[in-house]
Amino acid sequence: MGTISANKLAGYSLVVGPIVTLLGYFLQPGGMLIDAADPADAAASLAAITSNDMMSQLTGVVIALGLIVFLYGFFVLQSNMRENGSGDAVMRYGVMLLMFGVIGWVVSVGMNMSIAGSDLTVASQGAAAGALYSATLGINTIAGLLAGLGFLLLALAISTRDDQNKIFALVAAAVGVVVVIAVLIGGMDTAQLQNMQMIIGICYLIHVAWTVTLGLGLMKQG
């Protein structure tokens, strides 16, 4: 069985992981494409999740795996920066914040999978599912805030490197600021939650493109 270098595996992870996560996000019931619902409308969101229970559980697994895969890529990238100097200290903070953001998101999708497996025709289970859904909103707010700060610090650290695309890194840093602001607004005013999630989704697309370029760079290093 052949071997693969840490850089190449991390490169593949930074390319594949975000794209897989994005696919799961778009296909998640109640999200962008399937039975789209205002996340602030618990009844509509719960109906979307439970009426598409198999898809909800499948996309939950896809999102969780995608998040963990691309997080591994950043671990290796941070290790490379530690060996080569510039940006290491800020990068460590960024990776730590991103890691806790990913953990929060994974917990959140796990709770959504639990909701998808519940039977809302039973009153007690319906109340439990509603409580779980409310908890996912809170967890997603904290996770989104941590991940946004993580991407901001990661991008700022990488922008100090001569071997990276500094302009794209600074764009990614600016997008991280937008994410943090949008998460805070959506968390404090649920009436704005749907609009803020749309903005965050656009920001994630930009971060995906940036992450893919980082992955391709690692793959070239071999």
| pLDDT digit string, tens, across residues 183-217 | 999 988 888 988 998 999 999 999 999 999 999 99
How far is the CA of 174 from the CAs of 101, 129, 131, 154, 177, in angstroms? 18, 37, 35, 12, 5
Assess if residue 73 is contained within a domain: yes
Assess if residue 38 is contained within a domain: yes
- pLDDT of 43-86, one tens digit each? 888 888 888 888 989 999 999 999 999 999 999 998 887 766 66
Cβ 120 vs Cβ 51: under 8 Å: no
Q: Distance (Å, rounded) from C-alpha 19 to C-alpha 13? A: 10
Assess if residue 161 is contained within a domain: yes
Assess if residue 163 is contained within a domain: yes
Q: What is the pLDDT of residue 129?
A: 72
Domain that includes residue 28, residue range: 6-221
Comparing 46 with 171, the larger pLDDT belongs to 171
Assess if residue 19 is contained within a domain: yes
The CB-side HSE value for 121 (13 A sphere, CA atoms) comes to 1
Tally of domains in the chain: 1
Assess if residue 156 is contained within a domain: yes
Assess if residue 1 is contained within a domain: no
Assess if residue 34 is contained within a domain: yes
